Structure 1
Amino acid sequence: MDFKGLFEMQGMLFSIMILGLFLRKKKIVGAEGKKLLTDLVIDVTLPASILKSFQIEFNGEILKSCMVIGAAALIIQVGSYMLGMVLYPGFGDERKRVLQYATICSNAGVLGNPIAEGIFGGLGLLYASIYVIPQRIFMWSVGLTYFTEAPDKKTLIKKVATHPCIVAVVIGFLLMIFQIPLPGFVNLTIKQVAGANTFLAMMLVGTILAEVPLSSLADGATLYYSFVRLVFVPFLVFCGCRIWGIDGLVTGVSVVLSGMPAASVTAVMASKYHKDEVFAVRCVVLSTLLSMLTVPCWCMILNF
Structure 2
Amino acid sequence: MNWAIIEQVFIMALLAGVGILCRKLKLLDDACTKKLSTVVLNFATPMVILVSYQKPFDPETLNTLLLSFLIAIISYVIAFILVPLIIRSKDKEGQLIERFSCLYSNCAFMGIPLIQGVYGTEGVFCLTAYVTMFNICSWTHGVIMMKGGKPNFKQMIKSLLSPSIIVTIIGIILFLCNFTLPNVILETAQHLANINTPLAMIIAGSTIATVKLLPALKKPRLYYTCFVKLFLLPALLTVICLVFKIDQTVAGVNILATACPAAAMCTMFALLYDRDAGYSAEIFAVSTILSMVTLPLTLMYYTALAGIFM
TM-score, shorter chain, exceeding 0.5: yes
CA distance in 1 between counterparts of 2:238 and 2:266 reads 25
Which AA in structure 2 matches 1:231? F
Q: Which residue of 1 aligns with 2:167?
A: 168
CA distance in 1 between counterparts of 2:52 and 2:94 reads 29
Q: Which residue of 1 aligns with 2:48?
A: 49
**Deviations for 1:40-62, whole angstroms, at most 9, x for unmatched residues?**
22222222223233333333221
RMSD: 2.4
Q: CA deviation at 1:253?
A: 2.8
Which AA in structure 1 matches 2:173? L
Asked whether 1:15 is paired with 2:14, we answer yes
Identify if the C-alpha distance between structure 1 residues 235 and 266 changes in structure 2 by more than 3 Å, giving closer, same or farther: same
Q: CA deviation at 1:192?
A: 0.5
Q: Which residue of 2 aligns with 1:67?
A: 66
CA distance in 2 between counterparts of 1:153 and 1:237 reads 31
Q: CA deviation at 1:193?
A: 0.9
Q: Normalising by the residue count of structure 1, what TM-score does the alignment of the two structures yield?
A: 0.89
Identify if the C-alpha distance between structure 1 residues 152 and 79 changes in structure 2 by more than 3 Å, giving closer, same or farther: closer
Deviates most, 9-18 or 42-51? 42-51
Q: CA deviation at 1:28?
A: 1.9
5+ long unaligned stretches in structure 1: none
Contact 2:57 2:178 in 1 (8 A): yes
Deviates most, 212-221 or 245-254? 245-254
**Deviations for 1:112-133, whole angstroms, at most 9, x for unmatched residues?**
3444344445544443333433
CA distance in 2 between counterparts of 1:68 and 1:151 reads 33
Q: CA deviation at 1:290?
A: 0.5
CA distance in 1 between counterparts of 2:120 and 2:33 reads 38
Q: Which residue of 2 aligns with 1:79?
A: 78
Q: CA deviation at 1:196?
A: 0.8
1:70-109 alignment, distance < 5 Å: 70-109=69-108
Q: CA deviation at 1:82?
A: 1.9
Which AA in structure 2 matches 1:301? Y
1:212-291 alignment, distance < 5 Å: 212-218=211-217, 219-291=219-291
Identify if the C-alpha distance between structure 1 residues 86 and 55 changes in structure 2 by more than 3 Å, giving closer, same or farther: farther
**Deviations for 1:232-279, whole angstroms, at most 9, x for unmatched residues?**
001101111222233444333332222111121111111111111011
CA distance in 1 between counterparts of 2:65 and 2:153 reads 36
CA distance in 1 between counterparts of 2:120 and 2:188 reads 28
Deviates most, 211-220 or 129-138? 129-138
Identify if the C-alpha distance between structure 1 residues 139 and 28 changes in structure 2 by more than 3 Å, giving closer, same or farther: same
Identify if the C-alpha distance between structure 1 residues 90 and 284 changes in structure 2 by more than 3 Å, giving closer, same or farther: same
Q: CA deviation at 1:150?
A: 7.4
Q: Which residue of 1 aligns with 2:180?
A: 181
Contact 2:23 2:209 in 1 (8 A): yes
Deviates most, 77-86 or 224-233? 77-86
Contact 1:85 1:100 in 2 (8 A): yes
CA distance in 2 between counterparts of 1:238 and 1:152 reads 32
Identify if the C-alpha distance between structure 1 residues 230 and 31 changes in structure 2 by more than 3 Å, giving closer, same or farther: closer
Instruction: Indicate the SS of the match to 2:108.
Output: helix
**Deviations for 1:69-119, whole angstroms, at most 9, x for unmatched residues?**
321111111221222322222153333332332223212223334443444
Contact 2:54 2:180 in 1 (8 A): no
1:124-203 alignment, distance < 5 Å: 124-148=123-147, 153-203=152-202
Moved over 6 A (4+): none
Identity %: 26
Deviates most, 201-210 or 129-138? 129-138
Contact 1:141 1:166 in 2 (8 A): no
